[in-house]
């Protein structure tokens, strides 16, 4: 095993151009309870772009230079003392150390073993790398917060997005009736996910069609929060994901007997294993669009920031 590796690092905050592929970066060594993963693919998420630019969770990333990235799929190379769940050669995937430094834009990364699960047999490494952060966010919004189950009515804003398309599938798998908003060009994708009602936000106002909603997963924000409260029934919860709900929305929700909350995703092995079970049962599958080599991390960020990404964006390392 080499002592050094290739890794995408940034020596300053700024645009996508600050991401550069460095050679000869020291390979990390697993500490107690950690495993060393040979990265096959790394998922790219909007939070990566915000952090690279100096916003998002950049204050928790430590001193420059840093390697960002939190989604990984790969193979265990070695294990630290005390690790009993994995052995070298195991195929694994997970979300690494979020919201602290992740480091998955590299050939190797060390991860606490409890943040990983066995890679779904139904997925390639590229597909698996597109899952953890967004699927865990959707799961925790719908299940941990929303208690979604049979008879629940769910509304997903941005239903065709990287997070939204998984939220639709998870809600469906939980037995919910699912509605969602999307643009004209995305409607066919949303419908292919098995959604019950799809609303083209360029042509209709969702609050004139949706009703009796128990859980709203809002990946868009803006005015959607206040508008969503009008279609919810007492006891429902609005989960705002890109930013916390504004004070006006929180107050109006309380007045209506509702909750408006924010959520920061947490690494949770049990949640990830439940997601894996859905994937292997054929009930959940990520839509992967652009797959780029590690050295084109800058292009991956451009695709996300300009809205040109088609499905999940993934960096292929091996």
Residue that is written with structure tokens 């190379």 in the block = 77
pLDDT surpassing 90 at residue 308: no
Residue that is written with structure tokens 């916003």 in the block = 55
**Domain final residue pick, 246, 262, 278:** 262
Could you tell me if 25 and 112 lie in one domain?
A: yes
The pLDDT assigned to 247 comes to 96
18 is a domain residue: yes
Domain that holds residue 145: 134-262
Could you tell me if 13 and 108 lie in one domain?
A: yes
Could you tell me if 142 and 223 lie in one domain?
A: yes
User: Rounded distance, CA 260 to CA 14, Å?
Assistant: 33
* Count of structural domains within the chain: 2
- Residues pairing with 67 in the sheet: none
Could you tell me if 92 and 193 lie in one domain?
A: no
168 is a domain residue: yes
The model's confidence at residue 307, banded by pLDDT at 50, 70 and 90, is confident
Could you tell me if 243 and 301 lie in one domain?
A: no
Could you tell me if 167 and 184 lie in one domain?
A: yes
231-243: per-residue pLDDT in tens? 999 999 999 998 8
275 is a domain residue: no
Could you tell me if 28 and 92 lie in one domain?
A: yes
Q: Find the CATH number of the domain harbouring 77.
A: 3.90.180.10
Cβ–Cβ < 8 Å for 38, 107: yes
270 is a domain residue: no
The pLDDT assigned to 309 comes to 79
Could you tell me if 50 and 108 lie in one domain?
A: yes
279 is a domain residue: no
Cβ–Cβ < 8 Å for 242, 224: no
Could you tell me if 23 and 36 lie in one domain?
A: yes
Cβ–Cβ < 8 Å for 36, 92: no
The pLDDT assigned to 177 comes to 98
pLDDT surpassing 90 at residue 171: yes
Q: Find the CATH number of the domain harbouring 182.
A: 3.40.50.720
139-164: per-residue pLDDT in tens? 999 999 999 999 999 999 999 999 99
- Which residue spans within the chain are E strands per DSSP? 4-9, 20-26, 34-44, 71-79, 91-95, 108-112, 116-118, 153-157, 177-182, 197-200, 213-218, 232-240, 259-262, 288-293, 312-316
The model's confidence at residue 188, banded by pLDDT at 50, 70 and 90, is very high
- Mean pLDDT score, 80-91: 97
**Domain final residue pick, 262, 278, 307:** 262
- Mean pLDDT score, 271-284: 98
Average pLDDT, the chain: 96
Could you tell me if 253 and 155 lie in one domain?
A: yes
273 is a domain residue: no
Instruction: Please give the model's pTM, rounded to 2 decimal places.
Output: 0.96
pLDDT surpassing 80 at residue 252: yes
DSSP helix/strand/coil, 286: coil
Could you tell me if 139 and 108 lie in one domain?
A: no
47-77: per-residue pLDDT in tens? 999 999 999 899 999 999 999 999 999 999 9
The model's confidence at residue 296, banded by pLDDT at 50, 70 and 90, is very high
118-129: per-residue pLDDT in tens? 999 999 999 999
- Of the chain, the percentage scoring pLDDT greater than 90 comes to 96
Terminal Cα-to-Cα distance of the chain (whole angstroms): 15
10-58: per-residue pLDDT in tens? 999 999 999 999 999 999 999 999 999 999 999 999 999 999 999 989 9
pLDDT surpassing 90 at residue 279: yes
Angle at 44 between CA 39 and CA 50, to 5 degrees: 130
- 301: its two tokens: 């960020």
- Mean pLDDT score, 274-300: 97
271 is a domain residue: no
274 is a domain residue: no
Could you tell me if 17 and 115 lie in one domain?
A: yes
pLDDT surpassing 80 at residue 305: yes
Number of CB atoms found within 10 A of residue 254's CB: 11
């Amino acid at each position: 095993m080499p002592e050094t590796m290739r890794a995408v690092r940034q020596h300053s905050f700024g645009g996508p151009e600050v991401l550069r592929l460095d050679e000869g970066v020291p390979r990390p060594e697993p500490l107690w309870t950690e495993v060393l993963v040979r990265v096959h693919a790394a998922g790219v998420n909007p939070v990566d772009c915000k952090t690279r630019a100096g916003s998002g969770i950049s204050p928790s990333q430590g001193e420059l230079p840093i390697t960002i990235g939190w989604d990984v799929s790969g193979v265990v190379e070695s294990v630290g003392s005390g690790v009993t769940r994995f052995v070298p050669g195991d195929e694994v995937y997970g979300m690494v150390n979020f919201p602290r430094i992740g480091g998955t834009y590299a050939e190797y990364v060390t991860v606490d073993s409890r943040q990983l699960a066995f890679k779904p047999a139904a997925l390639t490494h590229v597909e698996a790398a597109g899952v953890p952060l967004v699927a865990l966010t959707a799961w925790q919004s719908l299940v941990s917060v929303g208690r979604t189950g049979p008879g629940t009515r769910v509304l997903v804003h941005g239903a065709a997005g990287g997070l939204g398309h998984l939220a639709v599938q998870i809600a469906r798998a939980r037995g919910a009736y699912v509605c969602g908003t999307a643009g004209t060009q995305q409607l066919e994708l949303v419908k292919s996910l098995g959604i019950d009602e799809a609303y083209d936000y360029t042509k209709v106002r969702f609050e004139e069609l949706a009703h009796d909603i128990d859980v709203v997963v809002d990946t868009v924000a803006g005015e959607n929060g206040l508008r969503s409260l009008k279609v919810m029934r007492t006891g429902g919860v609005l989960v705002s994901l890109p930013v916390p709900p504004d004070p006006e929305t929180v107050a109006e929700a309380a007045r209506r007997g509702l909750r408006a909350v924010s959520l920061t995703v947490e690494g949770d092995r049990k949640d990830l294993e439940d997601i894996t079970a859905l994937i292997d049962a054929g009930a959940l599958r990520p839509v992967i669009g652009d797959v780029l080599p590690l050295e084109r991390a800058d292009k991956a960020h451009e695709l996300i920031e300009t809205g040109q990404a088609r499905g999940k964006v993934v960096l292929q390392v091996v």
